[in-house]
Structure 1
């Protein structure tokens, strides 16, 4: 019930439509109750026509009232159906936006063990079930309750004895409904989870279709997807099997009540204790009386399916982000670019520190490079500077202001970052370059592309800057994608620029051009570089060497090379492996 209450609260902007829909339901219910009563009256007139001298006129009036009730019912059914769906689908849209917005606010740690397809399933599939809940299940529950109460009242007015007899199956129906509800929810919950797993694998496989074909894994992946498809179907069929048992049970119990009333009512009519028109009216109303109870099984099924989805949706909405702004967080303005790490320790998993007591300072406009073997925490330092994660201990400051004291928006506004794993959107070249700057002009886009040595290959594309690059930039080479990412970061023009292996996928000639462009930016902003190709860091003002999560060396290229420590070793290895000219003339 708590999830249902939360949903109804979130639907508050659409309550007016639901209220009109509810009023329409009341009108439909009243009109439905009117029909059998008129037929009962008609039966009384026909069976006792000698008592009604104006019987012809009465029959015509009854017919006109029936026609009016049917026309009115069409109008109210339209209002009920359209407005309930209007409110429901708007709620679905609102919930999808809420869940997506919440996902954007969650820290990187949340996504570490989540699959994209599973999260997509929560945003799209689980929220879609709310339409069934708001437009069908809840209105049906409301309508059926009204019909049940209305018919029960009329039945007792017509004949209290027969009405009491008709209630005999009700306790059994309620008991079976309760058992059904408890048994079916876990099955729908499992079906929703299985659907999310299927979506996750589909998303992975479609994204990795080239690798699947390259390694001839089509059959293996087909069997995996087939397994996930049938797991979802089996979970769904388990729930539907319970429904297939429950629905006939409800119908049988309803039929028992009808048999009781027909047999006893018929005997009472034969003995003259009950008028014929009352028996006719009673039987007509009795079919309406059991209809809501029979429909209850479908309502329960819809509610349980929707609530299974609601559990998964609210699990996301109620997740607390690890990264939280302070209530009095300040705007980071007029940034010069000074960066200070003071005794920073951090671990992704408790007890396994990735960074240990990191201490360094970067002056405004300096170019600082971070080098070291793979997995020593170089990229983690950049993530921490962006506050994608929070520290275990220590502090990080920009212009002597702790980044935990500033708003996340202002922090990210002042940092541009080119990651090793470049992500581009399915848009044009120009749109991707301009992503980091609102209302960027074409001249600014072209200038950024030239700085990133991307302009020449862009103008040779089929539509130049208006060329669509496909999902994740699939139509471009690795080097082209990285140059677009660099252009995007340059155009943002933030006072701090981070390049995480930004030249790892380009050829040596292009790397040299990009390095010249970076050198031209030197002094205009603070530049942090992570590089395995040590030729790209020779001109850095400071080189920080890491090993096992700790800083082991710090200095200029010349100073570190002269020490003949880890940096010297890394340079020597590259000289041998890559025939690098890094140490030429040293």
Structure 2
């Protein structure tokens, strides 16, 4: 817990001035609240007992002016705490959200393979809001409460020691009660967060797949799945509120005991002449000042548990060490030629089974290599290892003679252009989606890339042209149109190495012909790796590798592999027969 608090406190660092100003205002508020009953006591015990009316009025005017000045100061302090104090919390929340988002960008594909996006969204949004509230109200409430409790306790001791000692004993019992329930609430609050994360995950999953849901008319199944998670969250919240009910009612009971003790104790001491009525009135005023911060501490306890459990979940992500990152001596290579060499490369998603086992491939710069074979043979996986989306289990991959683990990730990935089978477009316009391949590209460069990808004419037919909104994941475009936009990105990036993972799979025959010609033009003097199930598209490849779960079983150009009459010839003839 000490480590967690230390990390939490570190986020106050950039806002020390705001924090100290907030604490100063809290000090002023506490001081003003503590001083007011003293003025009342002074008026009752000293001023009102004077025989000189002129003096009484004079003192009343002086005290009135002082109190007005104090409440003007209190107004500005309260304004600062409420506005700038919250702004400080919001700034810290923003910093945390930036840190967690930046860290998520560093995590490899392996992390996302095992993590639900909806749960991550819950941590980025819901958890951080509670952390923000704790960041602002926590120190302030704690500071004000402690000042008021200690200050009022000292003043109460000066009025009547015996009653105050009794109050102190009841307060200790109250704090013990709060600590016991504090532990119980922490567990329940953590469960709340896990359950709402499950609900968010279910919503994200169902809405992302809404077209599949509707195509199978399975809305009722999704509703049942959601209802299950929603009800589990409800049960978790019920436990939470039962505990809160016990917690608040228990604290209310102890506060009632405090008031009862003051009234009865005060009556007894007045009856035996050890306390006068005016002092009892002041004592009761201070009891309210004494109880108010205890209320704040009770609320702080709940707020602290909500915030700190959220921060623990925040740290779970922040402290996840990326399994792929730059080595200490990594270099930023320039003028990449594109020689790629895989030496005894093995890879496994888990320790039980290797997807790739002892693969050896040399790809000379500027050559086009095609990977073919049955599904599950590891073609896409192999291409994912070159940009280090996953880390190889064994062996070595070299780019221009340098181990890719010794190359800075940004430099490595900037050297590689990828067109994937599963096209992803960002919610925005067409121009921005194409320019994602080169964020500083000019409008003319974007248009040229679109022409090369055979999508320019289509874009110009749209009402808003390149400013046309594509919808979430590009839902407003056809599969072929999305594919051509993704190809335009790579044209714009203009990298020395190309990886084409079924790059023309979503295109109609006419578009495929244009795109295939464009890709062949782009591939000239570039190292190109093509994954293709349509074997007719790779006939001109310099070398074709047949990859199965047994590794590279055949290699050669199209004519050589047809003559071998092996796996490639079987796959090719099967497609040719199907076409025929």
Mark yes or no: TM-score above 0.5. Answer: yes
Q: Does 1:126 align with 2:127?
A: yes
Return 5+ residue gaps in structure 1 as ranges. Answer: 580-586
In 2, Cα distance between the equivalents of 1:82 and 1:491?
47
User: Which deviates more, 226-235 or 184-193?
Assistant: 226-235
Q: Partner residue of 2:204?
A: 203
Q: Partner residue of 1:490?
A: 491
Secondary structure in 1 matching 2:448? helix
TM-score (norm: length of structure 1): 0.96
In 2, Cα distance between the equivalents of 1:194 and 1:547?
42
- In 1, are the aligned partners of 2:108 and 2:389 still within 8 Å (CA)? yes
TM-superposed CA distance for 1:392, in Å, is 1.1
In 2, Cα distance between the equivalents of 1:231 and 1:61?
62
Secondary structure in 1 matching 2:529? strand
Secondary structure in 2 matching 1:439? coil
- In 2, are the aligned partners of 1:11 and 1:91 still within 8 Å (CA)? yes
Q: Partner residue of 1:584?
A: none
Q: Partner residue of 1:583?
A: none
Q: Partner residue of 1:330?
A: 331
Q: Partner residue of 2:266?
A: 265
- In 1, are the aligned partners of 2:449 and 2:492 still within 8 Å (CA)? yes
TM-superposed CA distance for 1:462, in Å, is 2.1
Q: Partner residue of 1:546?
A: 547
Cα RMSD after superposing both structures: 1.5
Q: Render the CA deviation track for 1:15-68: whole Å, top value 9, x for unaligned.
A: 210110000000000000011111122222476344887223223323332222
TM-score (norm: length of structure 2): 0.97
Q: Does 1:108 align with 2:109?
A: yes
Alignment of 1:64-463 (within 5 A): 64-463=65-464
Secondary structure in 1 matching 2:16? helix
In 2, Cα distance between the equivalents of 1:209 and 1:260?
63
Q: Render the CA deviation track for 1:240-262: whole Å, top value 9, x for unaligned.
A: 22111111211211221222222
- In 2, are the aligned partners of 1:41 and 1:277 still within 8 Å (CA)? no
Secondary structure in 1 matching 2:546? strand
Secondary structure in 2 matching 1:436? coil
- In 2, are the aligned partners of 1:340 and 1:361 still within 8 Å (CA)? yes
User: Which deviates more, 290-299 or 555-564?
Assistant: 290-299
- In 1, are the aligned partners of 2:37 and 2:282 still within 8 Å (CA)? yes
In 1, Cα distance between the equivalents of 2:451 and 2:554?
35
In 1, Cα distance between the equivalents of 2:74 and 2:521?
76
In 2, Cα distance between the equivalents of 1:285 and 1:522?
83
Secondary structure in 2 matching 1:553? strand
In 1, Cα distance between the equivalents of 2:562 and 2:237?
66
User: Which deviates more, 58-67 or 338-347?
Assistant: 58-67
- In 1, are the aligned partners of 2:130 and 2:307 still within 8 Å (CA)? yes
In 2, Cα distance between the equivalents of 1:104 and 1:114?
14
In 1, Cα distance between the equivalents of 2:522 and 2:168?
85
Q: Render the CA deviation track for 1:396-433: whole Å, top value 9, x for unaligned.
A: 11111110011000001100001111111112111111
In 1, Cα distance between the equivalents of 2:265 and 2:12?
48
The structure-2 alpha-carbon separation of the partners of 1:314 and 1:406, relative to structure 1 and needing over 3 Å to count, comes to same
Q: Render the CA deviation track for 1:210-234: whole Å, top value 9, x for unaligned.
A: 2211111122212222332232233
Q: Does 1:13 align with 2:2?
A: no
User: Which deviates more, 100-109 or 242-251?
Assistant: 242-251
Q: Render the CA deviation track for 1:296-342: whole Å, top value 9, x for unaligned.
A: 22110000001111111100000001112111111111111111111
Q: Render the CA deviation track for 1:375-405: whole Å, top value 9, x for unaligned.
A: 1000011110010111111111111111001
In 1, Cα distance between the equivalents of 2:458 and 2:387?
31
- In 1, are the aligned partners of 2:106 and 2:325 still within 8 Å (CA)? no
In 1, Cα distance between the equivalents of 2:455 and 2:389?
29
TM-superposed CA distance for 1:522, in Å, is 3.2
Q: Does 1:559 align with 2:560?
A: yes
Secondary structure in 1 matching 2:287? helix
In 1, Cα distance between the equivalents of 2:355 and 2:512?
30
Q: Render the CA deviation track for 1:268-289: whole Å, top value 9, x for unaligned.
A: 2233222322111111101211
Return 5+ residue gaps in structure 2 as ranges. Answer: none
- In 2, are the aligned partners of 1:18 and 1:83 still within 8 Å (CA)? no
- In 2, are the aligned partners of 1:168 and 1:257 still within 8 Å (CA)? no
Secondary structure in 2 matching 1:283? helix
Aligned length: 579
The structure-2 alpha-carbon separation of the partners of 1:27 and 1:369, relative to structure 1 and needing over 3 Å to count, comes to same
Q: Partner residue of 1:25?
A: 26
- In 1, are the aligned partners of 2:343 and 2:396 still within 8 Å (CA)? yes
Q: Partner residue of 1:505?
A: 506
The structure-2 alpha-carbon separation of the partners of 1:549 and 1:324, relative to structure 1 and needing over 3 Å to count, comes to farther
TM-superposed CA distance for 1:109, in Å, is 0.5
- In 1, are the aligned partners of 2:498 and 2:523 still within 8 Å (CA)? no
User: Which deviates more, 416-425 or 512-521?
Assistant: 512-521
- In 2, are the aligned partners of 1:42 and 1:62 still within 8 Å (CA)? no
In 1, Cα distance between the equivalents of 2:112 and 2:426?
19
In 1, Cα distance between the equivalents of 2:164 and 2:427?
66
Secondary structure in 1 matching 2:423? coil
User: Which deviates more, 222-231 or 336-345?
Assistant: 222-231
- In 2, are the aligned partners of 1:81 and 1:135 still within 8 Å (CA)? no
